[in-house]
Amino acid sequence: MKMLINVAETVVADALRGMAAAHPELTVDVENRVIVRRDAPVAGKVALVSGGGSGHEPLHGGFVGPGMLAAACPGEVFTSPVPDQMLRAAAAVDSGAGVLFVVKNYTGDVLNFDMAAELAEEEGIQVAKVLVDDDVAVRDSTFTAGRRGTGATLFVHKIAGAAADEGRPLEQVREIGHRVVERSGSFGVALSACSTPAKGSPTFDLPPGELELGVGIHGEPGRERRPMMTSREIADYAVDSVLGDLRPRGPVLLLVNGMGATPLLELYGFHAEVQRVLAERGVVTARVLVGNYVTSLDMAGASVTLCEADEEMLRLWDAPVRTPALRWGV
Amino acid sequence: MKMLINVAETVVADALRGMAAAHPELTVDVENRVIVRRDAPVAGKVALVSGGGSGHEPLHGGFVGPGMLAAACPGEVFTSPVPDQMLRAAAAVDSGAGVLFVVKNYTGDVLNFDMAAELAEEEGIQVAKVLVDDDVAVRDSTFTAGRRGTGATLFVHKIAGAAADEGRPLEQVREIGHRVVERSGSFGVALSACSTPAKGSPTFDLPPGELELGVGIHGEPGRERRPMMTSREIADYAVDSVLGDLRPRGPVLLLVNGMGATPLLELYGFHAEVQRVLAERGVVTARVLVGNYVTSLDMAGASVTLCEADEEMLRLWDAPVRTPALRWGV
């Protein structure tokens, strides 16, 4: 598999140098792998810190900025960052109001963020945590105990980030972040495998003419493989999988997310099919986002994330945000 | 090649339905294939209309909105829109101040926009035109006489769009759009071919282990093929190709553009290498944009566009813009 890289060993550091040069509004510590909004710490405000393996860009570094994350810690590709990165991030952004760790539910991330939380508290930083486990496809896999964390991470970043921006105390910011997770569900499909720089070839084997239903964002196995399906059939399967778990009684936030290599032309067409199924099931979308936000390197495919949003969550969703990947109202 | 579609025949219409549902701030005429900003026509303002074959999303539909295009006309995949679409778009957005057609230099697009301009003028709409031909890789190909139009199209949309937003007369808006083209150069590389829905397989044959230097955005042949190169070597080749044609004496706008299937992680790393070469050549970047803006379906690869920007162009670049794909200052 050809890649636009120098060598696998420097892929993350190279990308961080490129981010630093593209986004002067961020402070990028390439050596220690921490991305911080330049004006941190912000007096009196709770600070959100997230992170995870690289390869899911723009998640998480692309969501650092006013209204979302105060800092992000990128690990090696598909590998959890280490506690030292998280501790550095927390220390850089804590204003005294405390830090919220937003953690996708993968074994390594959970362990490392827990360890970082202990270390931070030893240093006098108040820490709370939201665990994101929105992927309805499978429970308990080689990567995680419980469900995997995927698209809802973006919703938590945005909504809890806006709550922090309003100056709410740590416990309230944690509570609304947790509420977002409880009301969210995601389902992903892969049309092709992804290739990590270290391996240099596809991380799993997906035969021509088949797709993986319920795939994870690292290419983890899903529910089943089937002969290739149409956009309409995939939308039916994905939306019904989410609705089988989440039963929204009100309007939802919808994320139709590209895995990385699926053209935007196809993604918009898929979104039309997702809207059709939702309408058939009586679900109304209050807000919609279509694009590549939580990717899996060069995987072709898409995921659907729904979040049942109350008035407060919608208001926080609409609040101003200014990050490399999400920006409105400012 | 697996695609997230229903059938090839409805790919563009499906995508337009998905765009309409995602972007209530746009009016999307799915049947006639015209995307218009909802508040058009804007009294007293020149209106920019662009378009071209589909498959390059977010170009052009993703650039419709305040501060950029008033309307876009998507053709079939890699096929020029027809004059009737352009005429409809012009009629929908003209406030009496005239319409600027922004046309990428491909034979079909040039002919059809010329015909549309004649028809529009018969209906009393004043029309001017900017032809974008920034690709320094080749002159005269199967697709075009002269150079191809690629990444600089985004610069023209943004800068001429901001000039129109300021209320400048048509001739001035045309002049500044033309100035952007004269001062721009682009160079693209492909690591993989792209597949159109109609063909269902790669549009050209790129052997494993080779890349295409100077590729066009439809997969047209470039200058040469070579054994796979590193990000560093590709950046050297691409930037030196642009600088061989364009000799900027001042700061430049830089677009590091993904072709569609290249992960953002790789694109940021490539950007770091592009910055390194530019620094070695004494070129300073005044503004930078890194992302997927002018794509070629599922092609892996990237392009570099430079534009020597004077003070006025920088001011217009920084002006507020609110479109699906580009948004700042509002």
CATH code, B106: 3.40.50.10440
Query: Which structural domain, as residue segments, surrounds residue B126?
Result: 8-183
Residue A203 lies in a domain: yes
Q: Which residues does chain A have within 8 Å of residue B225's beta carbon, measured at their own beta carbons? A: none
Residues of B whose CB is below 8 A from A285: 21
Residue B13 has pLDDT above 80, yes or no: yes
User: Does residue B54 sit within a domain?
Assistant: yes
Do B150 and B236 share a domain, yes or no? no
pLDDT at residue B151, as a whole number: 98
Q: In chain B, whose CA is at the least distance from the CA of A265?
A: B15
Write down the mean pLDDT value for chain B.
97
Mean pLDDT over A104-133 rounds to: 97
Q: What is the mean pLDDT of residues A109-118?
A: 98
A209 within a domain of the structure (yes/no): yes
List the single residue in B4, B266, B289 with the smallest CB-CB distance to A262. B4
Residue A252 lies in a domain: yes
CA distance A121 to chain B (A): 32
Candidates B306, B244, B296, B310; CA nearest to B275 is B306
SS3 of B19, please?
A: helix
Q: For chain B, how many structural domains are there in total?
A: 2
Predicted ipTM > 0.95? yes
b/e burial code for range A75-88 (CB count within 10 A of at least 16 → b): bbbbbbbbbbbbbb
pLDDT tier at A330, thresholds 50, 70, 90:
confident
Assess whether A17 and A115 both reside in one domain: yes
Nearest to B3 among A18, A62, A266 (CB): A266
Q: What per-residue confidence (pLDDT) applies to A140? A: 81
**What is the per-residue pLDDT for B117?**
98
Q: Do B211 and A7 count as a contact with CB atoms less than 8 A apart? A: no
Stretch B188-213: mean pLDDT: 95
Give domain status of residue B282, yes or no.
yes
- CB B235 within 8 Å of CB B276: yes
Quote the percentage of chain A above a pLDDT of 70: 100
Chain A residues with beta carbon closer than 8 angstroms to that of B54: 265
Q: Do B268 and A15 lie within an 8 Å CB cutoff?
A: yes
* Domain contains A177: yes
Residue after which a domain boundary falls, among B183, B214, B244: B183
Are B14 and A260 a contacting pair at CB < 8 A? no
Q: Which of A183, A198, A227 is the last residue of a domain?
A: A183
The pLDDT confidence band at residue B140, using thresholds 50, 70 and 90, is confident
**In terms of domains, do B179 and B190 share one?**
no
* 3-class DSSP assignment, residue A302: strand
Tokens standing for residue B262 = 């290249």
Asked if residue B157 has pLDDT above 80, the reply is yes
Distance from CA of A28 to the nearest CA of B (A): 13
The DSSP 8-state label assigned to residue A203 in this structure reads: S
Mean pLDDT calculated for residue range B230-236: 98
* pLDDT-based confidence at residue A141 (cuts at 50, 70, 90): confident
| Residue B242, in any domain of the structure | yes
Confidence of residue B299 (pLDDT cuts 50, 70, 90): very high
Clarify whether residues A236 and A142 are in a common domain: no
Per-residue pLDDT, averaged over B136-164, amounts to 92
- Final residue belonging to a domain, choices A147, A167, A183: A183
User: Which member of B23, B157, B218, B271 is catalytic?
Assistant: B218
User: Nearest-CA residue of chain B relative to A19?
Assistant: B268
Same domain, A143 and A39: yes
A107 with A33, same domain: the answer is yes
B237: left (phi over 0), alpha (psi -120 to 50) or beta: alpha
Q: Is residue B328 part of a domain?
A: no
Average pLDDT over residues A251-270: 98
Q: Are residues B231 and B169 in the same domain?
A: no
Q: What is the mean pLDDT of residues A58-77?
A: 98
Q: Is residue B148 located within the same domain as residue B201?
A: no
How far A147 CA sits from the closest chain B CA (Å)? 25
Helix boundaries (H) for B183-253: 231-243
- Measured distance CA(B81)–CA(B236) in Å, rounded: 36
Other residues' Cβ atoms within 10 Å of the Cβ of residue A240: 12
Task: From chain B, pick out residues whose CB is under 8 angstroms from the CB of A209.
Answer: 2
The C-alpha atoms of residue B236 and residue B255 are separated, in whole angstroms, by 15
Predicted confidence band of residue A189 (pLDDT cuts 50, 70, 90): very high
Q: Where residue A190 sits, what CATH number does that domain have?
A: 3.30.1180.20
CA dist A16 and A74 (Å) reads: 9
Residue B218 among the catalytic residues: yes
Q: Check CB contact under 8 Å for A265 and B297.
A: yes
Point out the least confidently predicted range of A54-63, A215-224, B126-135, B315-324: A215-224
Alpha-helical runs (H) found in chain A: 11-22, 83-93, 107-122, 152-165, 170-182, 231-243, 264-280, 311-318
Distance CA B36, CA B46 (A): 14
Report the candidate in B265, B266, B293, B288 with the shortest Cα–Cα distance to residue A61. B265
Claim to verify: residue A30 and residue A173 sit in the same structural domain: yes
pLDDT at residue B144 in the model: 77
Same domain, A232 and A133: no
Q: Are residues A267 and A236 in the same domain?
A: yes
For residue A197, name the pLDDT band (cuts at 50, 70, 90).
very high
The model's confidence at residue A244, banded by pLDDT at 50, 70 and 90, is very high
DSSP B156-178: HHHHHHHHHHTT--HHHHHHHHH
Give the CB-side neighbour count of residue B190, counting CA atoms within 13 A: 30
CB–CB of A151/A293 below 8 Å?
Answer: yes
Contact A18 B295 (CB under 8 A): no
Q: What is the mean pLDDT of chain A?
A: 97
Q: Are residues B27 and B129 in the same domain?
A: yes
